[in-house]
Amino acid sequence: MNIKVLLDESEIPREWYNLAADLPTPMQPPLGPDGKPVSPDMLGKVFPMNIIEQEVSSDRWIKIPEEILGILYKWRPTPLHRAVALEKALGTPARIYYKNESVSPPGSHKPNTAVAQAWYNKQFGIKRITTETGAGQWGSALAFSCALLGLDCKVYMVRISFDQKPFRRLMMETWGAKCVASPSTETNAGRKILEEDPDTPGSLGIAISEAIEAAVTDETGQTRYSLGSVLNHVMLHQTIIGLEVKKQLAKINEKKVDVVIGCAGGGSNFAGLAFPFVADKIVGANIEVIPTEPSSCPTMTRGPYSYDFGDTIGMTPLLPMHTLGHTFVPPPIHAGGLRYHGIAPLISQAVIEGLLSPRAVHQIECYEAAVLFARTEGIIPAPETSHAIAAAIQEAQKAKEEGKEKVILFNFSGHGLMDLTGYEKYFAGKLQDYPLPEELMNKSLAAIKNLPKPKAVKSGRW
Amino acid sequence: MNIKVLLDESEIPREWYNLAADLPTPMQPPLGPDGKPVSPDMLGKVFPMNIIEQEVSSDRWIKIPEEILGILYKWRPTPLHRAVALEKALGTPARIYYKNESVSPPGSHKPNTAVAQAWYNKQFGIKRITTETGAGQWGSALAFSCALLGLDCKVYMVRISFDQKPFRRLMMETWGAKCVASPSTETNAGRKILEEDPDTPGSLGIAISEAIEAAVTDETGQTRYSLGSVLNHVMLHQTIIGLEVKKQLAKINEKKVDVVIGCAGGGSNFAGLAFPFVADKIVGANIEVIPTEPSSCPTMTRGPYSYDFGDTIGMTPLLPMHTLGHTFVPPPIHAGGLRYHGIAPLISQAVIEGLLSPRAVHQIECYEAAVLFARTEGIIPAPETSHAIAAAIQEAQKAKEEGKEKVILFNFSGHGLMDLTGYEKYFAGKLQDYPLPEELMNKSLAAIKNLPKPKAVKSGRW
C-alpha cells in the first residue's frame, strides 16, 4: 500500500494560527507615503474592516467561521502522502512527505484564502471583488470562490499572460468572473499607461494599480480589492495546511519533522505549511525550515530587509520585507508565481529572526526534480512547486550522504496541468538557468536606498 | 457543511463486480473474420493471457490484487459529493449525488483500468504497452500508469489531436511515454495510409491499427496492446466506482437510489458507476439507469444491435454491440470521448435486456449544464461529463414537476481543465447542436448490413 494520510470532517482544524503572536519581535507596521504608520481606517476603502482587523491582529489563534469550513470541506482536509516511490528512486534513508494542495478545483493552495476573503467581504456587505493576476493561479482561485459565494469578481490580468494563457482566463470566465487584459481602458491608471505605450505587455504592478483603483472609485461603496499573497491575513488563512499536517503526522505516529520546505514567491503556500512548525521552533524544536526561491529572483537570499512598495509603481503602503527593489524585473522563468520582488513581511521577519533558512535553486534543477516526481509519485507539479521538490531532493540526498533517517516534509502547492509549456521547452533542451541580472538588481536596490528601514529587529543585512 | 462522503483505506472495495455473471442472457462471443467465435488463444499476441481470462470470465466477483489497490489508493476511494448548491439553484426536491472521479492525477476515471492493465501486463512479463488515443484522456492515463509501474508506453495519437492538443501530449511525455502522431511512418498501416493521403488528419481507427500492429509485430514478444474502453475487462476494472458509491451511500444512510446516470462513449465510466446498481435492478430493485450519449452520435438510442468491428478499418474481431456502423464519423462535438460508433458489448446487451434507458442530449444543453455546475459546485466538467450533468438536471427538474424527493446519482467522470476551448466557443456563441448526419449514418449502417447478427437475446431492433 501507498502511504496516504487523510483526516475526516471532524478533524478539520477550526482555528488559524497567527505567527505574529509568537515572533520574538513585534511586527513592523506598514507605512504611508509620509513615512508614518498606516492606520487601519486608511485601508478601509481597499479592504473590508473585518479583514483589516485580521491583518493587524496579534491573537495567536483565530476561529475559522463554520461557513468557510463548509466550503473548504469540498476538497479539504487534503491528503498527506509519503513519497515512497521517490525515496526509492533516490535511495535515501529519509522519509519524504508531501502535502497535496493540488486537489482543490482550481488546482492549488490559493483557494484557502480566496474562499476566506470572499466570505469576509460578503459578510461585510460587499458585492464585488477586484483583483489582479499574473500567470492566473490567483485569479482563477478568486473567481472560483466568488462563484460559490455569489459575488461578482473582476480580474485584471497582465496583458502578456492574457494573450499567452487563454486557458487560465477561460477558467475564470467559466466560474463567472470578468477578466480583462491589463492595462485596460477602464481605469485612469490603465489609460495613462496605454497612452504612453499602447503595445505594453503589462505588469503585475500595473494590474494591482488598476484593481485597487477600480475598488476604491466604485461610488456604491460595495467593491473591495483582494490580494492573494504577501499580507498577514493571507498567511493566516493558509496555516490550515500546516495544522492539518500536524494532525496527519500524529495519526501515523511520525513524531518529529527535521526539515520543512515550501516554495516562496509572495510566500503564502510556504507560510501555510511552515508557520505551525516555526511555532515549535520558536520554543526550541530542532527543525530546519527552508523557503525556496528561484536563483534568478533571490529575494530572501540576496535582498536586504527594507521598507518597500508591494507593487511596481508605488501605489501600496510601504511594507517591511526582504526585497530586490520594486522596480526589479526577474528573468522570464516559468514559475510565474515566484517572480516577485519582495516577500511577505511575516516571512521576512522570521528570516531576520534566524527562524528560516532560505535557499535559491536554478530552473533546470527544478524541472529535473519535477519530472522525477511525476514519474515516481504520479502528479505533474506546477513550475513553482518544483522549487520545493528540488530542495526536498537536495535534503534527501544529504540524508543519504550522512546516512541519517531524516523526516522531510514539503508542500505540493499545485499541479502543472495548466503550465505544460515549460515542460515542453525542458524536454526540447530549450530551457536555461537564467543568471541573476546583477546590474538590474543593483539599480532597483539603489532606487529604494532612501526608503525607511524597519526598526527593532535582531539583525539585518542592509 | 457541504456533504462529502469519504471512505478510509480499510473500506476500499477488494473485488471487482462482473455484470456478465448476472445478465439474463449469456454474453455473445466476439467473432473472427470467418464468422466463427474468436478463441482466447487467438488474442494472445494482442493481450496478455491474464487479461484475456478476465475478458471471458463469467465469475461474479474478481479479486483486486493488493498491488493494484496500493496504486489506486493514491487517489481512491474518491469522494461522493451531494450537489447541495446545484439542487438549490434548480429548486428541486431531489437529492443529487455525484461521484468525483476527476481527482485522479490524470483527471478522470481512466486510470482505474489503466493501472490494472499495466499491472497485469507486468505480471505476465510484458515490458512495453502500445495504445491509441484520440483526445488524449486515455493515452495520458496509460502513460501515468506505466510510469508508476516502470513499463515503457507508446501512444499513437490521432494526428489532428496531436497537432491541436499539445498539452495532452505533453502530459504523456512528462510521464515518460513516447507519443507519435498517427498515421506514423513506424507501421505498415501508417505508411500505407500516408502514401495514399499524406495530409490525412488521422482517425481513431487508424491509430488502433497502428498500436495493434506495433504490439503483435514486436519480435521480442514483450509488447502488448491496451484498450481504454469497450471491452469486458475494462468495464470490470471500473466497477470499483459504483462499489465505492454503495458503501458511501450506506454511510449516510441513503437507502435507495432512484436514478443512476453516466455519460457513455465506449461506456467505461458509465459501466463503472452503474453496473453494481444494474445488479440490484436484475433482482428487482426499481432503479432507472441512464447512459447518456450525444444526439449527434446516438449509438444506443438509434443504432441497431449487430456484430461490428471495434475500429474503423475492420482489424479487430467483430463485437456484438449497438453500433452506427464502423465507418460512421460523428460531427466534431467537443466531447471527443463520446464520438465512437459503437458501445461496450456488456452495455449493449443490458440495453437489449431492458435494464438501461439510454438518452441522447444536445451539445449546447450540455454546456449550459456544465457552466451551471461549475458555478454552483465549483468543479469545471470535461465535455464528456457534461452529458451526465445535463441528464441529471433533466431528472432533477422532472422530480420538481412531480414534487418527488428522488435520489439522483451521476458520475463526474473527469475535469475539463485540458478542454477549455469548448467553453470559449460556448461563451462566444459559436457552438452548435449538430444534427445527426442521417445520410452518413444510413450509409455506414448499410455497410454492416451483411455482418452477422447476435443471437439469443430477448429482443433487438435490427
Assigned domain for A319 exists: yes
Report pLDDT digits (tens) over B315-337.
899 999 999 999 998 898 899 89
Cβ of B14 under 8 Å from any chain A Cβ?
no
Can you give the residue range of the structural domain that contains A392? 4-9+63-107+232-448
Task: Yes or no: say if B287 and B273 are a contact pair by the CB < 8 Å rule.
Answer: no
Across A388-405, average pLDDT: 98
Residue type, B310: G
Assigned domain for B149 exists: no
Q: Minimal Cα–Cα distance from B68 to chain A, Å? A: 9
Restricting to A residues 283-322, those with a Cβ less than 8 Å away from any Cβ of B are none
User: Which segments of B18-71 are extended strands (E)?
Assistant: 61-63
What percent of chain A has pLDDT above 70? 98
Task: Yes or no: say if B364 and B426 are a contact pair by the CB < 8 Å rule.
Answer: yes
CB atoms within 10 A of CB A73: 15
Q: How far out from the chain centre does Cα B311 lie?
A: 15
Report the distance separating Cα B313 and Cα B139, nearest Å: 21
Cβ of B375 under 8 Å from any chain A Cβ?
yes
Q: Which residues of B touch A105 (CB under 8 A)?
A: 378-380, 415
DSSP B208-219: HHHHHHHHHT-T
Q: Flag whether the ipTM exceeds 0.90.
A: yes
Q: How far out from the chain centre does Cα A302 lie?
A: 19
Assigned domain for B275 exists: yes
Q: Is the pLDDT of residue A182 over 50?
A: yes
Least confident of A99-103, A153-157, B335-339: B335-339
Q: How far out from the chain centre does Cα B339 lie?
A: 11
Cβ of A103 under 8 Å from any chain B Cβ?
yes
Say how many domains are in chain B.
Answer: 1
Assigned domain for A26 exists: no
Assigned domain for B24 exists: no
Report pLDDT digits (tens) over A183-202.
999 999 999 999 999 998 88
Interface with chain A: mutation pick from B14, B74, B112, highest number of A CBs within 10 Å: B74
Across A208-236, average pLDDT: 96
Cβ of A105 under 8 Å from any chain B Cβ?
yes
Q: What confidence score (pLDDT) does residue A459 get?
A: 46
Cβ of B167 under 8 Å from any chain A Cβ?
yes
Q: Is the pLDDT of residue A457 over 70?
A: no
Across A383-400, average pLDDT: 98
Report pLDDT digits (tens) over A7-32.
998 999 999 999 999 999 889 999 99
Q: Which residues of B touch A376 (CB under 8 A)?
A: 147-148
Across A376-400, average pLDDT: 98
Cβ of B364 under 8 Å from any chain A Cβ?
no
Task: Yes or no: say if B183 and B189 are a contact pair by the CB < 8 Å rule.
Answer: yes
Q: What confidence score (pLDDT) does residue B456 get?
A: 53
Report the distance separating Cα A265 and Cα B38, nearest Å: 60
Task: Yes or no: say if B453 and B462 are a contact pair by the CB < 8 Å rule.
Answer: yes
Cβ of A4 under 8 Å from any chain B Cβ?
yes
Torsions phi, psi of B268, nearest 5?
-75, -40
Across A154-171, average pLDDT: 93
Q: What confidence score (pLDDT) does residue A462 get?
A: 38
Q: What confidence score (pLDDT) does residue B172 get?
A: 98
Q: Which residue of A has its CA nearest to B426?
A: A174
Cβ of B180 under 8 Å from any chain A Cβ?
no
Q: Which residue of B has its CA nearest to A144?
A: B378
Report the distance separating Cα A56 and Cα A336, nearest Å: 29
Assigned domain for B194 exists: no
Query: A49 pLDDT band (50/70/90 cuts)?
Result: very high
Sheet holding B152-158, edge to edge: B178-182, B152-158, B128-133, B223-225
Across A369-386, average pLDDT: 98
Cβ of A227 under 8 Å from any chain B Cβ?
no
Least confident of A1-10, A237-246, B365-374: A1-10
User: Which segments of B281-325 are extended strands (E)?
Assistant: 288-294, 305-309, 318-322
CB contact under 8 A, B4 and A73: yes
Query: A204 pLDDT band (50/70/90 cuts)?
Result: confident
Assigned domain for A116 exists: no
Assigned domain for A72 exists: yes
Q: Angle B341-B342-B348 (CA atoms, 0-180°, nearest 5)?
A: 155
CATH number at residue B385: 3.40.50.1100
CB contact under 8 A, A423 and B9: no
Q: Is the pLDDT of residue A460 over 50?
A: no
Q: What confidence score (pLDDT) does residue B28 get?
A: 92
Interface with chain A: mutation pick from B420, B423, B424, highest number of A CBs within 10 Å: B420
pLDDT beneath 50: ranges in chain B: 459-462
Across A233-240, average pLDDT: 98
Task: Yes or no: say if A422 and A332 are a contact pair by the CB < 8 Å rule.
Answer: no
User: Which segments of A298-441 are extended strands (E)?
Assistant: 305-309, 318-322, 359-361, 407-412
Q: What confidence score (pLDDT) does residue B1 get?
A: 58
